[in-house]
Amino acid sequence: MSQAFTKAMARNIFYGGSLFFILLFLALTFDTDSTLPSRDNHAAITEKVAMGKALWEKNDCIGCHTLLGEGAYFAPELGNVYKRFGSTDAIKAFIKGRPKNGIPGRRSMPQFNFTDEELDAIAAFLKYASEINTNNWPPNIQG
């Protein structure tokens, strides 16, 4: 290359590259925006699911658990807990069966003393969360 690299060439590369990446960003944004609504199950949101979400937030479950990859990593991922346990009854029994004072020498979930209605709501919320199409996240059934 016998020609020197000029300011005009640098400017053209900068503007051309910037335009290319802006267009790429817009195309990927449009693709994501058109794909996400088909992956969620908005029709399944009921009052019970909303109540379970409110209990999830009130009791700071995300302070220990992750849900769809977001939250603390102290306890297991709950985005697929319904798939692991197989039913809402198993989820309710697990939550209800927690020891009052925990398990000595182990980290364990506290006993929240939820009512049957609250247990139904939390189980419905976790079932709803497990039915969201997350492109196979978490990568394994254990969370």
Q: DSSP for 101-124?
A: T--TTS--PPP----HHHHHHHHH
Half-sphere exposure of 128 (CA within 13 A, CB side): 21
pLDDT at 1 over 60: no
Q: Rounded CA gap, 110 and 18, in Å? A: 53
Q: Which pLDDT belongs to residue 143?
A: 63
pLDDT at 9 over 80: yes
Mean pLDDT throughout 101-126? Answer: 90
Q: Rounded CA gap, 35 and 122, in Å? A: 28
The beta strand positions in the chain, using DSSP E, are 66-67, 70-71
Q: List, for residues 46-88, the tens digit of each pLDDT value.
A: 999 999 999 999 999 999 999 988 999 898 899 889 999 999 9
Percentage of the chain with pLDDT > 70? 95
77 in helix, strand or coil?
A: strand
pTM recorded for the entire structure: 0.73
